[in-house]
Amino acid sequence: MTKIILALDFSDKKTAMKLVDNIDPAIFSLKVGPVMFIRYGLKFIKELHCLNFNVFLDLKLFDIPNTIFSAVQSVADLGIWMLSVHILGGSDMLKAAKSAIKSYKDNPPLLIGVTVLTSYSNNDLRSIGISSSIAEQVYLLSNIGKLCFLDGVVCSGKECRQIKNKFGENFKVVSPGFRLHGDQLHDQLQITTLETIKEDKIDFLVLGRSITLSKDPVTSLKNFIKIISK
C-alpha cells in the first residue's frame, strides 16, 4: 500500500505545526525541504522527532564525494528516516553517500536519488544539453542509483511502473507532484494522479500544495484520505 509523506512547504513554523499537531505519525511521515530547514534548522527536526514523526530531509544533496560523505554522516547523526541526494552528482558521489551510513547499523537513513525534477519538460532537458526524453533520463539515472546501492529514487508516478518492473519491488519509488482533478498545477508538469497511485506501484506519495495551499489543510487532508481509501 502506498504510504503518505506530507511536505511541510510552509513559510512559517506556526502554520506548519498547526497541521502537524492534527495528524497521526502512525499514518503520515513528514518532508522537510530547504526552506524550512534553513529557517528553523536542527531544532525543528528534533521537535518533529519528539512527536514521533519519520522525517524525510529533502535537500537533494549534490557536491564532491568528500563533502557528500561528511554531509550524509551529519544527517545520519540526526536520526533522519530518509534523505535525498541528486543522482546527477555521479557514481563516486553516490558511493560516498552510501559509504557514509555503513557504520549506522540501526535504522540508517534511506538514501533516495533524485532523477528529474517534476517541474521539468523535455524542452527543459534539451536546454541544458540533455537530448533524451524525461522517461529515458529517469530510467538512466535510476539505473545509476541502483548500481550504487541507493534505496530508491524520486520521480513522477508516470515512470514508477517501468522502474519497478526493471529494478524490483524493493527499489523504492517516491513520487511528488500529486494533483487532484481541478487542482492548480503551479510549476508541476509531471504530475501524479489518483489513477496513477491505484494503477502503479508507488511506495511513497508526497502530498504538498494540494493540501498545504488549501484554505483548510487539515480538512483537505482528511478528504484526500477518504478518496484514496475507496
Q: Which fold has domain 3-228?
A: TIM Barrel (3.20.20)
pLDDT in tens, 2-28: 688 999 988 889 988 988 998 899 989
Q: CA-CA distance, 119 to 194, in Å (whole number)? A: 19
pLDDT in tens, 78-136: 999 999 999 999 999 999 999 999 988 888 999 999 998 888 888 889 999 999 998 89
Is 230 noted as a catalytic residue in this protein?
A: no
Taking CA atoms, 95 is separated from 44, 54, 85, in Å, by: 29, 24, 11
pLDDT of the residue at 177: 64
| Phi, psi torsion values for 3, nearest 5 degrees | -100, 155
pLDDT in tens, 61-74: 999 999 999 999 99
Q: Choose, from 31, 60, 158, 164, the residue flagged as catalytic.
A: 60
Domain locations in the chain as residue ranges: 3-228
Q: CA-CA distance, 38 to 25, in Å (whole number)? A: 23
pLDDT of the residue at 185: 44
| Region 23-50 average pLDDT | 94
In terms of Cβ atoms closer than 10 Å to its own Cβ (0-12, 13-18, 19+), residue 52 is exposed
> In the chain, pLDDT over 90 holds for what percent of residues?
56
Higher pLDDT, 95 or 223: 95
pLDDT of the residue at 226: 73
Does the pLDDT at position 198 exceed 80?
no
Q: CA-CA distance, 206 to 172, in Å (whole number)? A: 13
Pairing of strands 82-86, 152-154: unpaired
